[in-house]
Chain A
Amino acid sequence: MSLKYESTVREPLINGTKDFHQVTEDIVRPIEGKPGKLWYLGLYISVALLLFGVFSVTWEVYYGIGVWGVNKTVDWAWAITNFVWWVGIGHAGTLISAILLLFRQGWRTGVNRAAEAMTIFAVMCAGQFPIWHVGRVWDVFFIFPYPNTRGPLWPNFNSPLLWDVFAVSTYFTVSVLFWYAGLLPDMATIRDRAKTKLRKFLYGVAAMGWTGSVKNWQRTEALFIVLAALATPLVLSVHSVVSMDFATSVIPGWHTTIFPPYFVAGAIFSGFAMVQTLLIVTRKILHLEEYITLGHIEAMNKVIMLTGGIVAVAYCSEFFVAWYSGDFGEGGAFWWRVNGPYWWAWWCLITCNVICPQMFWFKKLRRNIAFTFFMSIIINIGMWFERFVIIVLSLYHDWLPSSWSYFSPKWPDIGFYVGTFGLFFTCYFLFAKYFPVIAIHEIKHVLKTSGESYKATMGAIEKESTEEFAEGVAHAAAH
């Protein structure tokens, strides 16, 4: 049974006076209207960046990995940094849709759709890096275990790199399923109010014959709760496995048991920052301020604070262990992290990820949109540097001082990274125009308990005695 009412102490999730039809109107309006000039401009810039990325990658495939800045000592650099960064960003969406669903967090309804879309696009971007990093990309299918005529030659199931293939591809598939299952009812909503033939046809195909019958909904809810239960450990497993790419090696700075929880916390930290970046712009341009409220933004800032705190503790414990273990290599790696030629990268990471987020202890700043937007970008810069520090700064001063080296990106490194931004934003712009960016049916589901105008009438219920209230609930259940 749904709640009869929600305490007035809790902030409303939907502001303004709305009925169901108004909710549909507000969310579907951008899809039915003509996009503004800004949308076209943004899309064109994104496509241009994407094309530059395609050019850079083509260049790399033609001439080989040597066109990147990697060398014999620093053999993993930008591509792996960017891979881990994008996968990390891809953690917020399914966390919001799965973990917050299991924890019955009502505020997820306003942000889950866009966050899940962002997750899917981020994982798509992430996937590019390991694929093109293999060098001979035409042989990339060798990673799949299938009976073949090369022996048969199987991949190594003991290797975290192969675990990663399974983790990331499973994560992508499950995220897409979760996202699309939630989209079906909303696609049907758009289909049934469509005026043009083309829109009727396209959204008709996309809605796959959804009617909204009782059985449809019953099965959807069953599917969601089980998918959420499956996706919850999945979210935690993906970045754990990514961290094992490093942690199972014997490189000082990588060989650490705290990596899995540390990476997962960092992933959620950066993922929520990216959700903030996108949603603050989206709510403004699509006029969705009443659905993505200050309360939503504050809730996400609290998650950012928590995970930022975990990450800060992890940084401290790394240094503590480097000293306390008495391990020469480990100590050296951390000494060069702070005092080597890349000292500024380490300070960048500490400033962006540890010092700046402390501002969020002030409620005023947590609820300040401009500040949140600024911070979300700072955090994503910080999280990029975190991965860069872990990867390049653990490699560049290795065991033999004679092989110490330095890494500077070349243009194809930068072009590839910029290209994934192009891919990400091209997808996001298309999503924001052709898909409902807020889950319409989920908003309708919580509207009458958490809508501002409905909450206003709940003071009367709160004044009821316990007996009266219990009787009312029993009465509602009896119907």
Chain B
Amino acid sequence: MPVKNFVVGCFTEEPAVFKAVKKVRGSGYKLHDIYSPYPVHGLDEAMGLRQTSLHTAGFFYGLFGVIAALGGMAFITVHSWPLNFDGKPHFPLPSFIPITFEFTVLVSSVGMTLTFCWLNQLMPYVRKHLFHPRQTDDLIVMVIERTGKTTDEELKKWFADMGAIEISAQRAETGWWYGSYAKPAPYETAIGSEQAVTS
């Protein structure tokens, strides 16, 4: 995955972030991402991100669950080993409903959670670059990629105008890699840690 240059601004108040997002979209700067310690409602919309399709995926997993449960039980009780209980039907739908329901919920939940992990690249031992250690504590951290069209100084000044309380320029991996959080990131050792984070 590529290592890129970023300028990072930290905010404490939500309104300042919303204002900065609105500004950055008209300015031509390349907004990388925003990190926050809690869900900031409306920020995805403000950034112009599309709504997630996780719900739709959940529906289809559920549909698969219904079909698998009913189909499985039908196969077993009608085809594989039909048993005659007092001449009752081999496929008694009402008494199959509880298992069908439970299995639907199970498949849908497990499927959605795995999809959630897949989309967010969440897995034990997966590591990503952390722009600020307080982004999971009390800061809303906005990250802009420094492209050829702009400079660190310009972006830093822009962040200062937006009311960021802490601003830094960083060189960081954009994707994820396998690694322990207890060790330095591989690209940091490769290019030297003082080059990796310069403020």
Give me the interface of A with B, judged by CB distance under 8 Å.
1-2, 19-21, 24, 145, 147, 151-154, 157-158, 160, 162-163, 166-167, 169-170, 173-174, 177, 181, 184-185, 188-189, 191-194, 197-198, 200-201, 203-206, 208-223, 226-227, 230-231, 233-234, 237, 241, 244, 440-442, 444-445, 476-477, 479
Contacts and interface: CB of A to CB of B under 8 A. Distances in A.
B37 A185 contact: yes
Interface stretch (B100-108, B157-165, B190-198): B100-108
A234 B102 CA distance: 7
Contact of A174 (B33, B58, B105): B105
A401 B99 CA distance: 38
Contact of A445 (B38, B42, B55, B134): B38
B117 A208 contact: yes
A2 B41 contact: yes
Given A185-B37, A208-B117, A226 B136 contact: no
A476 B15 contact: yes
Contacts of A208: 117, 122-124, 126
A24 B55 CA distance: 31
B95 interface: yes
Contact of A213 (B35, B58, B126): B35
B136 A212 contact: yes
B137 A21 contact: yes
Given A21-B138, A214-B33, A237 B54 contact: no
A204 B122 CA distance: 11
A24 B109 contact: no
A191 B120 CA distance: 18
Given A157-B76, A170-B106, A233-B101, A227 B128 contact: no
Contact of A237 (B37, B72, B102, B182): B102
Given A21-B134, A234-B102, 6 more contacts: A181-B116, A204-B125, A208-B124, A218-B39, A220-B39, A479-B46
Contact of A479 (B19, B80, B112): B19
Contacts of B99: 157, 162-163, 166
A444 B15 CA distance: 16
A209 B176 contact: yes
A244 B97 CA distance: 13
A212 B43 CA distance: 13
16 contacts: A24-B138, A154-B76, A157-B76, A166-B102, A170-B106, A174-B105, A208-B122, A209-B123, A212-B36, A212-B135, A214-B33, A218-B51, A230-B62, A244-B98, A445-B38, A445-B39
Given A226-B112, A234-B105, A200 B35 contact: no
A78 B74 CA distance: 36
Contact of A215 (B41, B44, B58, B176): B44
A154 B112 CA distance: 29
Nearest to A238: B102
Interface residues of B, number: 70
A441 B39 contact: yes
Nearest to B16: A479
A230 B109 contact: yes
Nearest to B94: A158
Contact of A200 (B41, B105, B110, B181): B181
Contacts of A154: 76-77, 80-81
B22 interface: yes
B169 interface: no
Contact of A173 (B52, B110, B182): B110
Interface in B37-89: 37-44, 46-47, 49, 51-52, 54-55, 58, 62, 72-73, 76-77, 80-81, 85
B113 interface: yes
A442 B38 CA distance: 7
A211 to B, nearest CB: 5
A451 to B, nearest CB: 13
